[in-house]
Structure 1
Amino acid sequence: MRDGIVDFLKQHRDETDIFCFQEADGNMPEICGETLPNYKQINSYKYVSEYDEFPQLTCIHNDINIVSSGVLFEGNMTAGLGLYVKINVTDQKITLLNFHGLSRPGDKLDSPDRLKQFRGVIDFMQRWSKIRIIGGDFNILPDTESIELFEKQNYRNLIREFNIPTTRNRIVWEKFPDNKQLHSNYAFVNKEVTIKSFSVENIEISDHLPMILEIL
Protein backbone atom coordinates (compact mmCIF):
# COMPACT_ATOMS: atom_id res chain seq x y z
CA MET A 1 0.00 0.00 0.00
CA ARG A 2 3.07 2.23 -0.08
CA ASP A 3 2.06 3.96 -3.33
CA GLY A 4 -1.41 4.74 -2.00
CA ILE A 5 -0.03 6.22 1.21
CA VAL A 6 2.53 8.31 -0.66
CA ASP A 7 -0.16 9.61 -3.03
CA PHE A 8 -2.39 10.48 -0.06
CA LEU A 9 0.39 12.38 1.69
CA LYS A 10 1.28 14.29 -1.46
CA GLN A 11 -2.38 15.17 -2.03
CA HIS A 12 -2.85 16.58 1.48
CA ARG A 13 0.55 17.88 2.56
CA ASP A 14 0.07 21.44 1.28
CA GLU A 15 -3.05 21.91 3.43
CA THR A 16 -2.22 19.80 6.48
CA ASP A 17 -0.37 20.92 9.60
CA ILE A 18 -0.18 17.55 11.37
CA PHE A 19 -0.36 13.90 10.28
CA CYS A 20 -0.91 11.19 12.92
CA PHE A 21 -0.16 7.53 12.29
CA GLN A 22 -0.83 4.44 14.39
CA GLU A 23 0.73 1.05 13.63
CA ALA A 24 3.33 3.06 11.72
CA ASP A 25 5.73 0.17 11.47
CA GLY A 26 8.20 -0.80 8.79
CA ASN A 27 9.48 2.10 6.75
CA MET A 28 6.80 4.69 7.53
CA PRO A 29 9.33 7.11 9.10
CA GLU A 30 11.38 6.83 5.91
CA ILE A 31 8.30 7.30 3.70
CA CYS A 32 7.26 10.38 5.66
CA GLY A 33 10.80 11.73 5.64
CA GLU A 34 10.89 11.54 1.86
CA THR A 35 7.31 12.65 1.20
CA LEU A 36 6.99 15.25 3.96
CA PRO A 37 10.40 16.98 3.95
CA ASN A 38 9.01 20.10 5.63
CA TYR A 39 7.72 18.20 8.67
CA LYS A 40 9.29 17.25 11.98
CA GLN A 41 8.74 13.69 13.22
CA ILE A 42 7.87 12.52 16.72
CA ASN A 43 7.83 8.76 17.09
CA SER A 44 7.87 5.97 19.63
CA TYR A 45 7.40 2.22 19.85
CA LYS A 46 6.21 -0.24 22.48
CA TYR A 47 5.97 -4.04 22.36
CA VAL A 48 3.51 -5.71 24.73
CA SER A 49 2.91 -8.99 22.90
CA GLU A 50 2.75 -10.35 19.37
CA TYR A 51 -0.81 -9.01 19.24
CA ASP A 52 -0.10 -5.64 20.82
CA GLU A 53 2.66 -3.61 19.22
CA PHE A 54 2.57 0.17 19.18
CA PRO A 55 4.65 1.96 16.54
CA GLN A 56 3.47 5.58 16.60
CA LEU A 57 4.39 8.53 14.40
CA THR A 58 3.29 12.17 14.40
CA CYS A 59 4.50 14.53 11.65
CA ILE A 60 4.24 18.26 12.34
CA HIS A 61 4.83 21.00 9.78
CA ASN A 62 7.92 23.10 10.40
CA ASP A 63 5.78 26.25 10.56
CA ILE A 64 4.11 24.96 13.74
CA ASN A 65 5.72 26.00 17.02
CA ILE A 66 6.14 22.94 19.25
CA VAL A 67 6.11 23.87 22.94
CA SER A 68 6.62 20.35 24.27
CA SER A 69 6.07 16.71 23.37
CA GLY A 70 6.31 13.27 24.92
CA VAL A 71 4.98 9.74 25.28
CA LEU A 72 2.01 8.52 27.31
CA PHE A 73 2.00 4.99 28.81
CA GLU A 74 5.53 4.33 27.56
CA GLY A 75 6.36 1.80 30.29
CA ASN A 76 2.82 0.62 31.02
CA MET A 77 2.29 -2.92 29.73
CA THR A 78 -1.48 -2.86 30.38
CA ALA A 79 -2.23 0.19 28.21
CA GLY A 80 -1.73 1.37 24.65
CA LEU A 81 0.55 4.20 23.59
CA GLY A 82 0.08 7.90 22.98
CA LEU A 83 2.23 10.62 21.47
CA TYR A 84 1.32 14.03 22.81
CA VAL A 85 2.40 17.39 21.52
CA LYS A 86 1.63 20.87 22.78
CA ILE A 87 1.74 23.49 20.05
CA ASN A 88 1.26 27.23 19.83
CA VAL A 89 -0.78 28.44 16.85
CA THR A 90 -1.74 32.12 16.49
CA ASP A 91 -1.35 32.56 20.26
CA GLN A 92 -3.55 29.55 20.96
CA LYS A 93 -2.08 26.66 22.94
CA ILE A 94 -3.35 23.31 21.63
CA THR A 95 -2.61 19.84 22.98
CA LEU A 96 -2.94 16.90 20.59
CA LEU A 97 -2.77 13.23 21.59
CA ASN A 98 -2.16 10.65 18.85
CA PHE A 99 -3.40 7.46 20.53
CA HIS A 100 -3.41 3.72 19.80
CA GLY A 101 -5.39 1.63 22.28
CA LEU A 102 -5.02 -1.97 23.39
CA SER A 103 -6.12 -4.32 20.62
CA ARG A 104 -6.95 -7.27 22.87
CA PRO A 105 -9.49 -8.67 23.62
CA GLY A 106 -10.41 -8.76 19.94
CA ASP A 107 -14.12 -8.22 20.61
CA LYS A 108 -13.28 -4.51 21.17
CA LEU A 109 -15.55 -4.39 24.22
CA ASP A 110 -14.82 -2.94 27.64
CA SER A 111 -12.24 -4.63 29.84
CA PRO A 112 -10.65 -3.52 33.12
CA ASP A 113 -7.40 -2.64 31.34
CA ARG A 114 -9.19 -0.69 28.61
CA LEU A 115 -11.24 1.31 31.09
CA LYS A 116 -8.16 2.10 33.17
CA GLN A 117 -6.30 3.06 29.99
CA PHE A 118 -8.97 5.53 28.85
CA ARG A 119 -9.37 7.02 32.33
CA GLY A 120 -5.63 7.58 32.24
CA VAL A 121 -5.91 9.35 28.88
CA ILE A 122 -8.63 11.67 30.18
CA ASP A 123 -6.79 12.44 33.42
CA PHE A 124 -3.57 13.14 31.53
CA MET A 125 -5.17 15.52 29.05
CA GLN A 126 -6.87 17.53 31.82
CA ARG A 127 -3.45 18.84 32.87
CA TRP A 128 -2.76 20.51 29.56
CA SER A 129 -4.04 23.44 27.51
CA LYS A 130 -7.70 24.37 27.28
CA ILE A 131 -7.86 23.30 23.63
CA ARG A 132 -7.50 19.52 23.52
CA ILE A 133 -7.73 17.01 20.66
CA ILE A 134 -7.53 13.22 21.06
CA GLY A 135 -7.56 10.94 18.04
CA GLY A 136 -6.44 7.60 16.71
CA ASP A 137 -7.16 3.90 16.72
CA PHE A 138 -8.86 3.26 20.05
CA ASN A 139 -9.64 -0.42 19.36
CA ILE A 140 -13.04 -0.10 21.03
CA LEU A 141 -16.64 -0.23 19.81
CA PRO A 142 -18.86 2.87 19.99
CA ASP A 143 -21.52 1.77 22.47
CA THR A 144 -19.18 1.03 25.33
CA GLU A 145 -18.44 2.53 28.72
CA SER A 146 -14.98 3.39 27.41
CA ILE A 147 -16.44 5.83 24.87
CA GLU A 148 -18.92 7.16 27.44
CA LEU A 149 -15.99 8.15 29.65
CA PHE A 150 -14.99 10.80 27.12
CA GLU A 151 -18.54 11.99 26.47
CA LYS A 152 -19.24 12.34 30.20
CA GLN A 153 -16.19 14.60 30.43
CA ASN A 154 -17.81 16.86 27.80
CA TYR A 155 -15.63 15.75 24.92
CA ARG A 156 -17.37 15.91 21.56
CA ASN A 157 -17.36 12.51 19.87
CA LEU A 158 -16.89 13.54 16.24
CA ILE A 159 -17.59 10.05 14.90
CA ARG A 160 -21.02 10.16 16.50
CA GLU A 161 -21.65 13.87 15.93
CA PHE A 162 -20.88 13.70 12.20
CA ASN A 163 -22.67 10.36 11.73
CA ILE A 164 -19.61 8.57 10.36
CA PRO A 165 -20.87 5.13 9.22
CA THR A 166 -17.51 3.36 9.50
CA THR A 167 -13.80 3.89 10.02
CA ARG A 168 -12.86 0.46 8.61
CA ASN A 169 -13.04 -1.11 5.14
CA ARG A 170 -13.12 -4.36 3.19
CA ILE A 171 -9.43 -5.06 3.83
CA VAL A 172 -10.15 -5.97 7.44
CA TRP A 173 -13.67 -7.29 6.79
CA GLU A 174 -12.37 -9.85 4.29
CA LYS A 175 -9.71 -10.89 6.79
CA PHE A 176 -12.24 -11.33 9.60
CA PRO A 177 -15.57 -12.06 7.84
CA ASP A 178 -17.19 -13.44 11.00
CA ASN A 179 -16.42 -10.36 13.07
CA LYS A 180 -17.29 -7.32 10.97
CA GLN A 181 -16.63 -4.23 13.07
CA LEU A 182 -17.50 -0.80 11.71
CA HIS A 183 -15.69 1.48 14.13
CA SER A 184 -12.32 1.50 15.81
CA ASN A 185 -11.03 5.04 15.23
CA TYR A 186 -12.26 8.14 17.05
CA ALA A 187 -11.64 11.84 17.31
CA PHE A 188 -12.57 13.72 20.48
CA VAL A 189 -12.31 17.45 21.06
CA ASN A 190 -13.29 19.48 24.07
CA LYS A 191 -15.81 22.31 24.00
CA GLU A 192 -13.16 24.98 23.44
CA VAL A 193 -12.37 23.62 19.96
CA THR A 194 -14.10 25.32 17.04
CA ILE A 195 -14.49 22.83 14.20
CA LYS A 196 -14.47 23.94 10.58
CA SER A 197 -14.82 20.44 9.11
CA PHE A 198 -14.47 16.76 9.94
CA SER A 199 -14.59 13.83 7.54
CA VAL A 200 -13.50 10.23 7.06
CA GLU A 201 -12.30 9.45 3.55
CA ASN A 202 -13.33 6.14 2.00
CA ILE A 203 -9.98 5.22 0.48
CA GLU A 204 -8.03 1.99 0.88
CA ILE A 205 -4.55 3.06 1.94
CA SER A 206 -4.87 0.99 5.12
CA ASP A 207 -7.42 -1.23 6.85
CA HIS A 208 -8.42 1.96 8.69
CA LEU A 209 -9.93 4.99 6.96
CA PRO A 210 -8.18 8.36 7.42
CA MET A 211 -9.89 10.94 9.62
CA ILE A 212 -9.44 14.57 8.58
CA LEU A 213 -10.10 17.40 11.05
CA GLU A 214 -9.86 21.13 10.42
CA ILE A 215 -10.27 23.58 13.29
CA LEU A 216 -10.44 27.35 13.40
Structure 2
Amino acid sequence: MKLITLNIWGGHVRKPLLDFITAHRDIDVFCFQEVYHNAPAKISSEDRAVSLQIFSELQALLPEHKGYFRPVVGNIYGIGTFVKNSFHVLNEGEVSIHDNPVYSGSGPTHSRNMQWLECRINNKPYTILNVHGLWNGMGKSDSPERLSQSRRIRHFMDTIHAPKILCGDFNLKPDTESMKILEQGMTNLIKTHKVASTRTSLYPKTEKFADYILISPEIRSNRFEVLKDEVSDHSPLLLDFA
Protein backbone atom coordinates (compact mmCIF):
# COMPACT_ATOMS: atom_id res chain seq x y z
CA MET A 1 0.00 0.00 0.00
CA LYS A 2 1.10 3.55 -0.66
CA LEU A 3 0.46 6.78 1.24
CA ILE A 4 1.36 10.39 0.46
CA THR A 5 1.18 13.21 2.99
CA LEU A 6 1.39 16.81 1.78
CA ASN A 7 0.64 20.30 3.04
CA ILE A 8 -0.95 21.63 -0.16
CA TRP A 9 -0.45 25.31 0.81
CA GLY A 10 -4.09 26.07 0.17
CA GLY A 11 -3.67 25.02 -3.45
CA HIS A 12 -1.47 28.04 -4.14
CA VAL A 13 0.63 26.16 -6.73
CA ARG A 14 -2.60 25.00 -8.29
CA LYS A 15 -1.81 23.61 -11.75
CA PRO A 16 1.35 21.68 -10.73
CA LEU A 17 -0.52 20.35 -7.68
CA LEU A 18 -3.44 19.07 -9.74
CA ASP A 19 -1.05 17.56 -12.29
CA PHE A 20 0.84 15.85 -9.44
CA ILE A 21 -2.36 14.33 -8.04
CA THR A 22 -3.40 13.13 -11.50
CA ALA A 23 -0.02 11.48 -11.98
CA HIS A 24 -0.29 9.73 -8.59
CA ARG A 25 -3.84 8.38 -8.77
CA ASP A 26 -2.47 4.94 -7.92
CA ILE A 27 -1.68 6.10 -4.37
CA ASP A 28 -3.98 4.40 -1.88
CA VAL A 29 -4.17 7.11 0.79
CA PHE A 30 -3.56 10.86 0.56
CA CYS A 31 -3.30 12.94 3.75
CA PHE A 32 -3.52 16.67 3.04
CA GLN A 33 -3.16 19.77 5.19
CA GLU A 34 -4.18 23.40 4.49
CA VAL A 35 -7.28 22.38 2.58
CA TYR A 36 -10.09 24.76 1.59
CA HIS A 37 -13.62 23.45 0.99
CA ASN A 38 -16.45 25.62 -0.38
CA ALA A 39 -14.76 28.68 1.13
CA PRO A 40 -16.07 32.21 0.43
CA ALA A 41 -12.64 33.70 1.21
CA LYS A 42 -9.19 32.65 2.39
CA ILE A 43 -8.21 32.81 6.06
CA SER A 44 -4.63 33.87 5.33
CA SER A 45 -3.73 37.55 5.14
CA GLU A 46 -0.70 36.77 2.98
CA ASP A 47 -0.70 38.13 -0.55
CA ARG A 48 -0.97 34.82 -2.38
CA ALA A 49 -3.75 33.12 -4.25
CA VAL A 50 -5.37 29.96 -2.95
CA SER A 51 -7.95 27.53 -4.36
CA LEU A 52 -11.12 27.95 -2.33
CA GLN A 53 -12.69 24.77 -3.76
CA ILE A 54 -9.56 22.62 -3.68
CA PHE A 55 -11.12 19.73 -1.74
CA SER A 56 -13.81 19.30 -4.41
CA GLU A 57 -11.22 19.67 -7.17
CA LEU A 58 -9.10 16.93 -5.62
CA GLN A 59 -12.13 14.68 -5.23
CA ALA A 60 -12.95 15.16 -8.92
CA LEU A 61 -9.41 14.06 -9.82
CA LEU A 62 -9.68 11.01 -7.56
CA PRO A 63 -12.93 9.26 -8.54
CA GLU A 64 -11.67 5.97 -7.13
CA HIS A 65 -11.12 7.55 -3.70
CA LYS A 66 -13.45 8.84 -1.02
CA GLY A 67 -12.53 12.14 0.57
CA TYR A 68 -12.97 12.93 4.27
CA PHE A 69 -12.75 16.61 5.27
CA ARG A 70 -12.23 17.84 8.82
CA PRO A 71 -12.49 21.64 9.17
CA VAL A 72 -10.70 23.68 11.83
CA VAL A 73 -11.85 27.15 10.77
CA GLY A 74 -15.60 27.38 10.30
CA ASN A 75 -16.56 24.68 7.83
CA ILE A 76 -14.19 25.94 5.15
CA TYR A 77 -10.55 25.21 6.05
CA GLY A 78 -8.78 22.24 7.57
CA ILE A 79 -7.34 18.84 6.76
CA GLY A 80 -8.50 16.08 4.46
CA THR A 81 -7.78 12.45 3.69
CA PHE A 82 -8.63 10.53 0.52
CA VAL A 83 -8.81 6.74 0.67
CA LYS A 84 -9.25 4.30 -2.22
CA ASN A 85 -12.75 2.89 -2.45
CA SER A 86 -11.33 -0.62 -2.38
CA PHE A 87 -10.27 -0.05 1.23
CA HIS A 88 -12.87 -0.43 3.96
CA VAL A 89 -12.99 2.64 6.23
CA LEU A 90 -14.53 1.35 9.45
CA ASN A 91 -14.56 4.65 11.33
CA GLU A 92 -13.38 8.22 10.82
CA GLY A 93 -13.23 11.16 13.20
CA GLU A 94 -11.16 13.88 14.80
CA VAL A 95 -9.46 14.73 18.07
CA SER A 96 -8.95 18.28 19.32
CA ILE A 97 -5.22 18.82 19.90
CA HIS A 98 -5.10 22.60 20.44
CA ASP A 99 -7.83 25.07 21.40
CA ASN A 100 -7.87 28.79 20.62
CA PRO A 101 -11.27 30.14 21.68
CA VAL A 102 -10.28 33.75 20.84
CA TYR A 103 -9.21 33.13 17.24
CA SER A 104 -9.89 36.21 15.13
CA GLY A 105 -10.95 34.26 12.05
CA SER A 106 -7.82 35.12 10.06
CA GLY A 107 -4.25 33.83 10.19
CA PRO A 108 -2.59 30.61 11.35
CA THR A 109 -3.19 30.70 15.14
CA HIS A 110 -6.49 28.79 14.94
CA SER A 111 -7.36 25.66 16.90
CA ARG A 112 -5.96 22.37 15.63
CA ASN A 113 -7.40 18.90 15.23
CA MET A 114 -6.09 15.47 14.29
CA GLN A 115 -8.04 13.41 11.78
CA TRP A 116 -8.09 9.66 12.28
CA LEU A 117 -9.31 6.84 10.04
CA GLU A 118 -9.67 3.23 11.10
CA CYS A 119 -9.28 1.15 7.94
CA ARG A 120 -9.19 -2.48 6.90
CA ILE A 121 -6.70 -2.96 4.09
CA ASN A 122 -6.14 -6.42 2.62
CA ASN A 123 -8.03 -7.82 5.63
CA LYS A 124 -5.62 -6.12 8.04
CA PRO A 125 -6.55 -3.22 10.38
CA TYR A 126 -4.70 0.10 10.24
CA THR A 127 -5.25 3.49 11.84
CA ILE A 128 -4.09 6.52 9.86
CA LEU A 129 -3.63 9.82 11.71
CA ASN A 130 -3.43 13.12 9.79
CA VAL A 131 -2.07 16.16 11.66
CA HIS A 132 -1.47 19.84 10.98
CA GLY A 133 0.28 21.05 14.11
CA LEU A 134 0.15 24.42 15.82
CA TRP A 135 1.88 27.44 14.32
CA ASN A 136 2.59 30.16 16.88
CA GLY A 137 4.60 32.66 14.82
CA MET A 138 7.78 31.94 16.80
CA GLY A 139 9.50 29.18 14.89
CA LYS A 140 9.15 25.44 15.40
CA SER A 141 10.67 24.92 18.85
CA ASP A 142 8.94 23.66 21.98
CA SER A 143 6.28 25.74 23.69
CA PRO A 144 3.78 24.85 26.43
CA GLU A 145 1.03 24.67 23.81
CA ARG A 146 3.05 22.39 21.55
CA LEU A 147 3.97 20.09 24.42
CA SER A 148 0.30 19.90 25.38
CA GLN A 149 -0.59 19.20 21.74
CA SER A 150 1.86 16.30 21.57
CA ARG A 151 0.53 14.86 24.83
CA ARG A 152 -3.02 14.94 23.43
CA ILE A 153 -1.86 13.13 20.29
CA ARG A 154 0.12 10.65 22.40
CA HIS A 155 -2.86 9.99 24.67
CA PHE A 156 -5.09 9.18 21.70
CA MET A 157 -2.45 7.00 20.02
CA ASP A 158 -2.11 5.00 23.23
CA THR A 159 -5.78 3.98 22.90
CA ILE A 160 -5.12 2.47 19.43
CA HIS A 161 -4.05 -1.17 19.34
CA ALA A 162 -3.95 -1.56 15.55
CA PRO A 163 -0.87 -0.75 13.43
CA LYS A 164 -0.78 3.03 13.00
CA ILE A 165 0.71 5.73 10.81
CA LEU A 166 1.02 9.29 12.12
CA CYS A 167 1.75 11.82 9.40
CA GLY A 168 1.40 15.44 8.37
CA ASP A 169 2.84 18.89 8.92
CA PHE A 170 3.78 18.95 12.59
CA ASN A 171 5.40 22.44 12.55
CA LEU A 172 8.15 21.02 14.76
CA LYS A 173 11.91 20.70 14.68
CA PRO A 174 13.20 17.11 14.86
CA ASP A 175 15.07 17.61 18.14
CA THR A 176 12.21 19.01 20.22
CA GLU A 177 10.72 17.44 23.31
CA SER A 178 7.37 17.68 21.52
CA MET A 179 8.69 15.32 18.83
CA LYS A 180 10.13 12.94 21.42
CA ILE A 181 6.67 12.54 22.94
CA LEU A 182 5.28 11.56 19.55
CA GLU A 183 8.18 9.19 18.84
CA GLN A 184 7.50 6.99 21.88
CA GLY A 185 6.85 3.52 20.50
CA MET A 186 7.03 4.83 16.92
CA THR A 187 9.68 5.00 14.19
CA ASN A 188 10.33 8.48 12.80
CA LEU A 189 11.15 7.89 9.13
CA ILE A 190 12.53 11.40 8.72
CA LYS A 191 15.23 10.55 11.26
CA THR A 192 15.91 6.97 10.23
CA HIS A 193 16.35 8.04 6.59
CA LYS A 194 18.50 11.04 7.59
CA VAL A 195 16.30 13.46 5.63
CA ALA A 196 17.89 16.90 5.28
CA SER A 197 14.76 18.90 4.44
CA THR A 198 11.02 18.53 3.91
CA ARG A 199 10.65 21.93 2.24
CA THR A 200 10.86 22.94 -1.41
CA SER A 201 12.65 25.92 -2.98
CA LEU A 202 9.36 27.84 -2.65
CA TYR A 203 10.03 28.10 1.09
CA PRO A 204 12.50 30.95 1.71
CA LYS A 205 13.17 30.47 5.44
CA THR A 206 16.09 28.57 6.93
CA GLU A 207 14.18 26.00 9.01
CA LYS A 208 13.87 22.99 6.70
CA PHE A 209 11.74 20.62 8.79
CA ALA A 210 7.99 20.51 9.28
CA ASP A 211 6.63 17.27 7.80
CA TYR A 212 6.89 13.75 9.20
CA ILE A 213 5.73 10.18 8.90
CA LEU A 214 5.91 8.00 12.02
CA ILE A 215 4.99 4.31 11.99
CA SER A 216 4.31 1.76 14.73
CA PRO A 217 6.47 -1.39 14.94
CA GLU A 218 3.85 -3.55 13.17
CA ILE A 219 4.16 -1.47 9.98
CA ARG A 220 6.77 -2.56 7.44
CA SER A 221 8.23 0.30 5.43
CA ASN A 222 9.04 -0.99 1.94
CA ARG A 223 9.97 2.46 0.64
CA PHE A 224 10.09 5.96 2.04
CA GLU A 225 10.92 9.03 -0.02
CA VAL A 226 10.77 12.81 0.07
CA LEU A 227 9.51 13.53 -3.43
CA LYS A 228 11.13 16.30 -5.45
CA ASP A 229 7.89 17.64 -6.97
CA GLU A 230 7.46 21.36 -6.25
CA VAL A 231 3.70 21.59 -5.79
CA SER A 232 3.78 23.50 -2.50
CA ASP A 233 6.30 25.05 -0.14
CA HIS A 234 6.23 21.59 1.51
CA SER A 235 7.59 18.43 -0.11
CA PRO A 236 5.30 15.42 -0.56
CA LEU A 237 6.32 12.43 1.58
CA LEU A 238 5.71 8.96 0.14
CA LEU A 239 5.45 5.74 2.14
CA ASP A 240 5.05 2.27 0.63
CA PHE A 241 4.01 0.06 3.55
CA ALA A 242 2.58 -3.27 4.60
Common fold: TM-score over 0.5: yes
Q: Is residue 158 of structure 1 aligned with residue 189 of structure 2?
A: yes
Mapping 1:64-213, distance limit 5 Å: 64-73=87-96, 76-77=99-100, 80-151=112-183, 153-173=184-204, 176=205, 180-213=206-239
Amino acid at match of 2:144: P
| Aligned residues of 1:22 and 1:56 also touching (Cα < 8 A) | yes
2:52 counterpart of 1:40:
no
Q: Paired residue for 2:33, among 4, 22, 34? A: 22
Determine the structure 1 residue equivalent to 2:17: 5
Residue number in structure 1 paired with 2:3: none
Task: Give yes or no for contact 2:97–2:152 (8 Å, CA) kept in 1.
Answer: no
Hey, what's the Cα distance between the residues in 2 that align with 1:7 and 1:47? Answer: 27
CA distance in 1, matches of 2:80, 2:121: 21
Aligned 1:44-59 pairs, distance under 5 A: 44-47=70-73, 55-59=78-82
What TM-score do you get using the length of structure 2 for normalisation? 0.80
Identity within the alignment, %: 30
Residue type matched to 1:89 in 2? I
Name the SS for the 1:203 alignment partner. coil
Q: Which moved more, 1:70-79 or 1:100-109?
A: 70-79
2 CA distance for matches of 1:168 and 1:214?
20
TM-score, normalized by length of structure 1?
Answer: 0.89
Letter in 2 for 1:210: P
Asked if the contact 1:79/1:114 (under 8 Å) is kept, the reply is no
For each residue in 1:43-90, what CA deviation from the matched residue of structure 2 results, as whole angstroms up to 9, or x when unmatched?
021139xxxx95111111110100100011178338522110000112
CA RMSD of aligned residues (A): 1.8
- 2:130 aligned counterpart, secondary structure: strand
Offset, 1:129: 3.3
Any conservation in 1 of the 2:98–2:112 contact (CA below 8 Å)?
A: no
* Structure 2: stretches of 5+ with no match in the other structure: 1-12, 37-51, 101-109
Aligned length: 205
Q: How far apart, in 2, do the equivalents of 1:136 and 1:54 lie?
A: 16
One-letter identity of the residue aligned with 1:128:
I
Q: Work out which structure has the larger RCO, using CA pairs closer than 8 Å and 6 or more positions apart in sequence.
A: 2
